[in-house]
Structure 1
């Protein structure tokens, strides 16, 4: 059901994440205005939406949903003038984001919500130059935004409870799973978890322990299968048998002090860069990025259907 508060949405910045937002908003039956100063932006947007649309049709479109409900507006002032929610997606540079958000804040109507897709910056930092910082939040999604439901919502020091609540209701209305994070921290929650695995993966490749393909296989056919349903805590809860997490911690807790992992990222040398790039290219030989995206999208749709089948009552509090 569409939000009664948010009726017009604008997307500022149209890279991979921005275009993902546009596709999701369109699929849920919204009129969307997109703006980006980059040359050729509109062509790239429409191409991206066309690539995503078959997956969205397979998942199910809202009544009235259409690719034709997208309007490209190169002028930022015109783009945000009537928006109820503005989703910002400019490159992850603090100075640039703060400037763009301050411009949006100056140009948008007073009751519009301004949401940044930042993956790492704190909302208090982002809202520092805004005249109305109380309506600025972080709404951090995950690629592909048009399919993956998680969005992390984080308010800054000046963000009001009402802003968070309105945003939460809106993202729920477009079939997302908003995770409201009460404490600001760089990288929020999910990216910090992914970053820890990414650092260790780079060490394994850098040290010659495993190739990129072997690291991927270790996740795909092992913990990744379990995490898709239960996440790390419940997965280990079951590992403790009938006593659950209590027994698991008693048995395996001491191993946490063993130096199995390297918490600091390795230096991204030319040698390591080449190992990672060459490994990924070898893994995907004969397949274009577009083909891989289509395979991923089809898989995600079926995976989410399975998740709903086997975990229908689960919510973001981890309760069944």
Structure 2
């Protein structure tokens, strides 16, 4: 049995994703969210997601009943081994919530923030015990995607980063400790570069949203899912691998192919993107698309585990 208790502060998309992840891996979860109807929405998410996590394989002690909602941050965190903060991406709000968490948490508890871009040093400013705070940045849907980026601030101890690593690993995740803090961390910076280029291609009338998605789905995305960009290019170099690849194609990096600065998000561009996505989705609801995505990810994760160590 995973005898650690997890506190979830904020039960939006990410917070609920964490809840399903921890329940599926045999943890007890205590949740707090002041928004009306939060508990009912969480139960709905658990019900919808449980089939997917069951397909991946549940911990022997997994149960969607091992969760309870409480009426204050104090009640949520006072016995928790890990507190996962998931409030909206506003620095002032996060600092205030983290300060309250820090006030009531056990002295050896790990405090993890799900922020997707704020540096942990900025999140530590108001804490009495800043050494135990880490950024623990997951990816949606959290209950399926295993990567979590762990980033410490200037006052975070190595011991706390390792403790966080081990606990997330116990939740069947693939934790990655990032030694240098930087806005957006690693994965989001990579996705942001692709997102900016995609918007330029649509804005300049070169490709539709459906064509951009097709280019990734049936091209680079298939290879990246298995081994990422570096190993993909290593194979592109033939017998000499990356050595030949850089010699052969390295000079092309100087060519002005890409437009890494984001385009202005004009009303026209927004409508192109929105209309393109809605047309591509057709009569399929977001719920239907999520269900298809989850089924696909379950099989894909299994394939990655089987074919790439």
TM-score by length of 1: 0.95
Aligned partner of 2:63 in structure 1 is 66
Q: Distance in 2 between matches of 1:310 and 1:112?
A: 37
Equivalent residue for 1:109, pick from 86, 106, 111: 106
Measure how far apart 1:111 and its partner are.
1.2
Structure 2 residues not aligned, in runs of 5+: none
Asked if 1:251 is matched to 2:248, the reply is yes
Instruction: Show the 5 A alignment for 1:83-102.
Output: 83-102=80-99
Asked if 1:159 is matched to 2:163, the reply is no
Aligned partner of 1:317 in structure 2 is none
After superposition, give the CA deviation of every residue in 1:89-108 in whole Å (9 maximum; x if it has no partner): 11111111111111111121
Q: Distance in 2 between matches of 1:292 and 1:191?
A: 22
Equivalent residue for 1:138, pick from 116, 135, 140: 135
Q: Distance in 1 between matches of 2:99 and 2:274?
A: 37
Aligned partner of 2:271 in structure 1 is 274
Equivalent residue for 1:82, pick from 55, 79, 82: 79
Q: How many residues align?
A: 309
Aligned partner of 1:297 in structure 2 is 294
Secondary structure of 1:217's counterpart equals: helix
Larger deviation, residues 56-65 vs 106-115:
56-65
Asked if 1:219 is matched to 2:219, the reply is no
Secondary structure of 1:151's counterpart equals: strand
Larger deviation, residues 186-195 vs 254-263:
254-263
Measure how far apart 1:74 and its partner are.
2.5
Secondary structure of 1:221's counterpart equals: helix
Aligned partner of 1:185 in structure 2 is 182
Q: Distance in 2 between matches of 1:65 and 1:308?
A: 22
Q: Distance in 1 between matches of 2:228 and 2:236?
A: 13
Q: Distance in 2 between matches of 1:272 and 1:100?
A: 36
TM-score by length of 2: 0.98
Measure how far apart 1:241 and its partner are.
0.8
Asked if 1:39 is matched to 2:36, the reply is yes
Larger deviation, residues 54-63 vs 121-130:
54-63
Secondary structure of 2:115's counterpart equals: coil
After superposition, give the CA deviation of every residue in 1:101-126 in whole Å (9 maximum; x if it has no partner): 11111121211110001110111111
Q: Distance in 2 between matches of 1:69 and 1:237?
A: 46
Measure how far apart 1:64 and its partner are.
2.5
After superposition, give the CA deviation of every residue in 1:67-86 in whole Å (9 maximum; x if it has no partner): 11110113111111111100
Asked if 1:14 is matched to 2:2, the reply is no
Q: Distance in 1 between matches of 2:56 and 2:233?
A: 32
After superposition, give the CA deviation of every residue in 1:162-206 in whole Å (9 maximum; x if it has no partner): 111111111111111001100000000000000000000011111
